[in-house]
């Protein structure tokens, strides 16, 4: 495995933030996605959705400002932006499942070349596991972005031909953003859109089990 710098978790979030546009309604999942709100492009307003019935979450609450009736899906006290609204959890998931969100960003254990996502349970782990809202979100998102490291801690590829982990959803992922690349899931397979600075498409492919298609020159990820 090339000993070159990869994007940090924060940089993955920063790159993902550039996929969000002004006025978008967006759900952010656990892990790297949850860092995205800190890196929004200047001048845009994004309405963050939380599955517990909030639209228009603002920044996290500062010490002393916490209200434990106002928490996000990770139980973290948050604030509201003007124009926020509350609704019940069924309506919150009517939004996720019904395709009302513009973008959903989830973490991932594995993504397959067909856009299958596995992100809720590690095989052999103790206990029954936790699904939460991930299956509703992945089934309904108009544009599902997965943010994750390109490889496991043991260097195994996480972008695979077929997921070996328990699935969250099938054919649901639109874009994968990792510490090495931005990859689009298309009908004809995975297309390499951008590579991490200093990495070649061939080097990224070597870290990837699934075949990555290259169409012309592949630019480097620009965090500017």
Partner 1 sequence: MKQKISPSLDAVVADIPDGARIMFGGFGGAGFPNNLIQALSRKGIKEITAISNNCGTREGELGIMFKNGQVRHVIAAFPGPHSNYFQECYAKGEVTCELVPQGILCERMRAAAAGLLGFYTTVGVGTEVANGKEERVIDGKRCILEKPIHADFALIKAEKADELGNLTYRLAARNFNPIMAMAASTTIVEVDEIVPVGSIEPENVITPAIFVHRIVQAKGLRYAG
From candidates 2, 5, 88, 162, binder to partner 1 by CB under 8 A: 88
Q: What is the bridge-based pairing of β-strands 78-86 and 103-107?
A: unpaired
Contacts of 142 (CB under 8 A, 6+ apart): 99, 101, 102, 103
1 binding partner 1? (CB under 8 A) = no
User: Rounded distance, CA 19 to CA 159, Å?
Assistant: 20
Q: Token pair of 25, please?
A: 């309604």
Q: Token pair of 211, please?
A: 């075949």
Residue 65 annotated in active site = no
User: Rounded distance, CA 44 to CA 146, Å?
Assistant: 22
- Mask: binding to partner 1, 126-165, rule CB under 8 A, as x and -? xxxxxxxxxxx--xx-------------------------
Name the active-site residue from 19, 51, 113, 149.
51
19 binding partner 1? (CB under 8 A) = no
Tell the smallest beta-carbon distance from residue 37 to partner 1 (Å).
Answer: 17
For the chain, what is the total number of helices (H) and then of strands (E)?
A: 4, 13
Q: Token pair of 163, please?
A: 């997921």
Between 12 and 144, name the residue whose CB sits nearer to partner 1: 144
82 binding partner 1? (CB under 8 A) = yes
- Mask: binding to partner 1, 169-208, rule CB under 8 A, as x and -? xx--------------------------------------
* Residues involved in catalysis: 51
- Which stretches of the chain bind partner 1, using CB under 8 A? 22-23, 25, 45, 47, 49-56, 67-75, 80, 82-101, 116, 126-136, 139-140, 166-170
């Amino acid at each position: 495995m090339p000993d070159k710098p990869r994007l940090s978790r924060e940089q993955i979030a920063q790159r993902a933030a550039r996929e969000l546009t002004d006025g978008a309604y967006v759900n952010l999942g656990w892990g790297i996605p949850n860092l995205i709100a800190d890196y929004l492009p200047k001048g845009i307003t994004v309405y963050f959705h939380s599955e517990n019935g909030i639209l228009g979450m603002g920044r996290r609450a500062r010490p002393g400002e916490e209200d434990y009736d106002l928490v996000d899906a990770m139980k973290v006290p948050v604030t509201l932006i003007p124009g926020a609204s509350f609704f019940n959890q069924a309506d919150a998931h009517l939004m996720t499942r019904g395709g009302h969100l513009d973008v959903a960003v989830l973490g991932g254990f594995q993504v397959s070349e067909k856009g299958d996502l596995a992100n809720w349970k590690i095989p052999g782990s103790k206990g029954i596991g936790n699904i939460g809202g991930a299956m509703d979100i992945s089934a309904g998102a108009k544009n599902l972005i997965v943010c994750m490291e390109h490889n496991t801690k043991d260097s195994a590829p996480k972008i695979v031909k077929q997921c070996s982990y328990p699935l969250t959803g099938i054919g649901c992922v639109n874009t994968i953003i990792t510490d090495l690349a931005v990859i689009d899931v298309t009908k004809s397979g995975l297309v390499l859109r951008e590579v991490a600075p200093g990495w070649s498409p061939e080097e990224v492919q070597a870290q990837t089990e699934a075949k990555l298609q290259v169409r012309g020159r592949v630019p480097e990820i620009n965090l500017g």
